Chain A
Amino acid sequence: MNATYGELLAAAADAVADANLAVGRRRFDSPMDAAQALVDFHGLLDALAGHTWVLLTPEQAAGIRASQGPHRVEVAAIAMAEAIGTLAGTGRPHPGMRTQPVTSWARAARCLRAAGDLLATHHTPGHGPRSPDADVLDDPDVRAGALSRLGLLTVTLLDAEDTLALRALQAGLHPATVRRALPGLDHVADLARTTAGLGATESAAPGGAAGAASNTAAGLARLDNLGLVTPPIRTDHPVAELADRYTRVRLHAWRLLETPDYSITTLRDLAVLGVATHAHTAALHGADLTDRGAPSRQLKPLLDRARAWQEQHHTLTGLITAGPGDAVVREDLIAITRILQTLAPIITTTTPGRGRTAPLDRPLVGALNGAVATMTDIAGWNSLTLDRLARSGHVHVPGRALTGEQVTDRPDLATARLTGHLAPAPDDTRSAVTKAYQTLRTHPFQPSPPAAESDASIDRTADANVIARAGYDR
């Protein structure tokens, strides 16, 4: 099973609700059960505080403390985590973690700790990025939203404090023991309420900016969909396999930024994947790919994008580099094209039963929509990868493929053309590839930016962000 962050958090919330309900409905069977419940209650509080420090790094917390105008949610969350830390102590591992979970509170704590571990897989020990999604919590609004949910979970848990104290006393635990474990946590509950309440207010309030709220919601959805960095490929269902393989291809395409394989082959394979993804998605929605004429208005962007990837593949075919391609990308490409051919076949005039009468398979449509978005991300990263390869002199063309115009004023290229040796890729070829990637890096169903005419119009700000995330600025 490949759990996501959102699923783990939802499981934790369900477990807390179950435990609260159970403690309210019936007494403990024995003092031992009551003692276990107290330990698990504290274990969950400790997990909540620990998860706060997952969402907020120590450096960010120090920045918030020193800031003149800090985010109020973050301030409240830090205070909440510190208050819980004072109560739960600093001994590690927490006593609640030493046994298998018995109560639902312990199960909730385990889910929460697992969610923290899942997020940690996206970072290196030095908090550098290990995946393209490592930056999801860099957005303060998304971080505040995630902290708010944590605050809400804490409020729900602390709602059971009085009931738990009553049940522990009824079970026969010493009153001093109960008082020590549950001294009255209203101050923590107040901080948790502040964290939870302020999160909702702040995300909607400033400037009434619907766009900002929408971005926050999209960021939280991205956070919730986060899985492990390198999940195993599920082969029990073709749609699940498709999604997993696209995820892995995306990760490998992103990693080329930091650890390039000095190969044009990987970029070419990714271009083939771009062609297949868009063509099969269009076919799934009923596009007639046998016709070169105008397709339906809804499907035209997909077919245009497939054609654009194909042009890019055509250009890349003429380039030569020394390194071998990424074997994982190749393996995934082969598997993906086979699955697509089965699940979303390209219908031809000779295909029996031409035309689509069955309803669309929603999970498959979802997976392919995700794949289109993935290819958009990949185009942006590939642009940088190729640019870097070309600038470092790793990309060549056969000398005889150079045109007269290209060798004018370039004695080295002219010599290569005459001798037939390899020559560095000419600037116009490099800029043509970069320009094509600039078009491909916008989603096919989003309005395109003005056509790029020169290097000057290339989105360097986005490039700088990606480079920074990939750790080049370190």
Chain B
Amino acid sequence: MATWDESAKVLVERADADWEGIWTLTYAAGRATADLCVVVPMVDAVELTYAAMDLCEARQELEWVRPDLPARCPAVTVGPPDNLDAEVARDAISRLITAALARAEALLGCELDLADLACLTRTTTQLRSARRIVHGTAGRATTNRGRS
């Protein structure tokens, strides 16, 4: 079975630079973070739970302006959390989030209406907040740190 790292690489390579790609990457990152939460010690799990919450929020922001995304996009995960190295798993999640952020930035170069712009701004905030936590800020993170 493919490792999280391998699955993440494949997902990053294949996800398109559009709304669908961002949704798929965000979904996979969110599921992976939620999976990781339940296997790491509580000191990390609490903060990763906040990250998972932020990723869910980011996904919902996308669904708010594109309600058809969940039905249209492939809901792919990176695999079960068996024999997982926490640091490798964090890297894989971080890779997914970074890829989603890159696609969001690329999308900003396209013609968008105001609702789309607002959505991408909020999504980016949530994704960045999640990435900061996943990168490892043990003992210091709270929810939604990207917001004031």
Contacts and interface: CB of A to CB of B under 8 A. Distances in A.
Interface string B51-86: 011001100100010010011111111000000000
Interface stretch (A19-27, A102-110, A304-312, A448-456): A304-312
A84 B86 CA distance: 73
B43 A289 contact: yes
Contacts of B53: 268-269, 272, 313
Interface string A440-468: 00000000000000000000000000000
Interface residues of B, number: 37
A265 B54 CA distance: 11
A267 to B, nearest CB: 11
A337 B67 CA distance: 30
* Dominant secondary structure at the A interface: helix
B89 interface: no
Chain A interface residue count: which class? 35 or more
Interface in B109-146: 138-144
B38 A314 contact: yes
Interface in A391-438: 396, 398-401, 420-422
Contacts of B21: none
B42 A313 contact: no
B31 interface: yes
B31 A318 contact: yes
B49 A272 contact: yes
Contacts of B35: 314
A347 B46 CA distance: 12
Nearest to B39: A292
Given A324-B64, A341-B140, A351-B139, A317 B31 contact: yes
B112 to A, nearest CB: 21
Contacts of B140: 341
Contacts, number: 105
B37 interface: yes
Given A341-B140, A347-B139, A350-B138, A265 B60 contact: yes
Interface in A255-302: 265, 268-269, 272, 275-276, 279-280, 282, 289-292
Contact of B139 (A311, A322, A350): A350
B31 A306 contact: no
B143 A400 contact: no
Contact of B70 (A276, A282, A289, A398): A398
Contacts of A401: 75, 77
A338 B142 contact: yes
Contact of A400 (B46, B52, B76, B144): B76
Contacts of A345: 139
A313 B52 contact: yes
A469 to B, nearest CB: 30
Contacts of B34: 313-314, 317-318
B143 A420 contact: no
A292 B41 contact: yes
Contacts of B142: 334, 337-338, 341
Contact of B30 (A317, A338, A350, A400): A317
A286 to B, nearest CB: 13
**A-B interface, 4 closest residue pairs, ranked by CB to CB distance from nearest:** A398-B75, A289-B43, A289-B42, A317-B34
28 contacts: A265-B56, A265-B60, A268-B53, A272-B53, A279-B45, A280-B46, A290-B41, A290-B43, A292-B41, A303-B42, A307-B45, A313-B49, A314-B34, A317-B31, A325-B60, A333-B143, A338-B142, A346-B42, A346-B138, A351-B139, A396-B70, A398-B70, A398-B75, A400-B75, A420-B71, A420-B73, A420-B74, A420-B75
